[in-house]
Amino acid sequence: MADKNFKLSINTYELAEEFFEDTRLLGIMAPIKDYQFCWQLNNLMDIDFRINIDIEIQLRRKNRNYYFSVYEYQDPTGTLCHYLYRNLFDGEYLLPEFKHLDFLWLMKNDIVADDYLKETIQALRSINGVQLVTELTNEKIKNKEHLIF
């Protein structure tokens, strides 16, 4: 007979570790609209970030739902996928430990070389409105599970 008190639980630690395998994450301070920022990225860096409503992040806080936009770009020459998260929605933060950051840029599914990352950071810093770009290491992120879609 099955135990009536048996409950399934998800190990979010293992899920987060697997999700963040072979990733690089940039934090960006750029107090501009997300669609304007993506337009500038797409034009300057010759990429094609598009909003993906299927992977939008929804968090429930203070008895209401908050929705964080996620833009996606798949590198056509390889397996590297780029995700740009909006860190702020209606006064709430996706990653509250980084309230000073407006966007989070996750590079996933392939190894990202240090040179490529440096070039990306330099290009981001040249965009009008960008005030700060920094790499975020996994150890600095307290709420990693918020980035998992």
Residue carrying structure tokens 């740009």: 84
Terminal CA-CA length for the chain: 36
**Local mean pLDDT, 10-residue blocks, the chain (149 residues):** 58 68 92 95 95 93 92 94 96 94 95 95 95 90 79
DSSP letters, 39-91, are HHHHHHHT---EE-GGG-EEEEETTEEEEE-EEEEE-TTSS-EEEEEE-EETT
pLDDT at position 5: 65
pLDDT at position 22: 81
pTM: 0.86
- Domain ranges in the chain? 24-147
DSSP letter for 4, please.
Answer: T
pLDDT at position 117: 96
On whether the CB atoms of residues 141 and 25 are closer than 8 A, the answer is: yes
Tokens coding 97: 């430990």
Q: Are strands 132-136 and 24-29 parallel, antiparallel or unpaired?
A: antiparallel
Q: Which CATH architecture has domain 24-147?
A: 2-Layer Sandwich (3.30)
**Chain centre distance of CA 141:** 12
- Distances, alpha carbon 86 to alpha carbons 67, 76, 115, in Å: 9, 24, 25
